Amino acid sequence: MFDWQNMRHFLAVAKSGTLSGAARELGVDHATVGRRVTALEAELQTLLVERLPRSCRLTAAGVLVVEQARRMESAAFDVTRQVKSQQVTLSGRVTLSASPVLATHFIAPRMFDFRQKYPAIQLSISAQAHQVSLSRGEADIAVRHVRPSEPGSVARRVGKMKFDLYASRTYPDLALPEHWAFIAYEREFCDMPQQRWLLEIAGNRNVACELSDITGHMVAARSGVGVAGLPCFLGDADPMLVKLEHDGVSFLRDLWLVTHRDMKRSAIVRTVMDYFTESFASTMELRP
């Protein structure tokens, strides 16, 4: 038999193709990953990974092992989910994944209220721009901006996030739309719906600066550098910003609350989902 933790590290190397990538995924240093893979190779008495200068390549034996290991990992996740889904008490840890803007500006401000109502539930909030895997146990619940397609997931639409244009009240060109300069996302985010919407409105007008996240856009807009496209629940609540009239179309993103179908049976997961469903419904700028 082999140590499952060694196998987990080997799977991470197979997935990322590098020791450093596996280390980032697992939250350890690359030396630990290398040591774990070497230990697995010793347990199985075969070479699984070729260490190249800039990457790792699976050997023929490694390819065979990784396919079986993925099935084992999937089964392990199934066991973990099914055990957790039987939980009937409202105590324990629940992981909730959401985009950084919602995690920081919508979920985190509600932690005190949630704690008052459910003191035995520990919420772990993961601010992720990418979609986490619910089937792999990367989160118990996720807030998504698109309808989920992951097999085994169940979802409810809980709101809509409306965007509009905002600028500082002291922005010099506030009354001169033809002179507006815009705050956009970096080019790697060019396919994001809100980026396409903003640039369509901007047209031939200048882009003043590019930042990677909405919080950065809001701070830059406050500074007076230009016009930002912000979620209305943020822009309307900021006394330093003013909503701008423009000729462009409005922009909305759906909000979906998602969990794995196994986890839907868990009382603690249902409680968290019900709480945030009500939170979205009670927020005028986000309600369905």
* H-type alpha helices, 120-263: 193-202, 214-223, 232-235
pTM over 0.85: no
- Best CATH choice for the domain 4-85 from the list 3.40.1410.10, 1.10.10.10, 2.70.70.10, 3.90.25.10: 1.10.10.10
- Mean pLDDT of all residues belonging to the chain: 89
Cβ atoms < 10 Å from Cβ of 18: 17
Res 271: pLDDT: 93
| Cβ atoms 288, 159 nearer than 8 A | yes
- Domain boundaries defined on the chain: 4-85, 91-288
- Best CATH choice for the domain 91-288 from the list 3.20.20.140, 3.30.420.40, 3.30.420.80, 3.40.190.290: 3.40.190.290
pLDDT in tens, 82-113: 666 666 567 889 999 999 999 999 999 999 99
Res 91: pLDDT: 82
Token output for 280: 């979205």
Mark 173-191 as b/e (b = at least 16 C-beta within 10 Å). Answer: ebeeeeebbbbbbeeeeee
| Cβ atoms 43, 37 nearer than 8 A | no
Res 147: pLDDT: 87
CA 80 → CA 52, 57, 234, 254, distances in Å?
Answer: 35, 30, 37, 30
As a whole number of angstroms, the distance between CA 279 and CA 284 comes to 10
| Tens-level pLDDT at each residue, the chain (288 residues) | 778 888 888 998 998 889 888 888 888 888 999 999 999 999 999 999 998 888 899 999 989 888 888 888 777 766 676 666 666 567 889 999 999 999 999 999 999 999 999 999 999 999 987 788 887 778 999 999 988 888 888 999 999 999 999 999 999 999 999 999 999 999 888 888 999 999 999 999 999 999 999 999 999 999 999 999 999 999 999 999 999 999 888 899 999 999 988 888 888 999 999 999 999 999 988 988
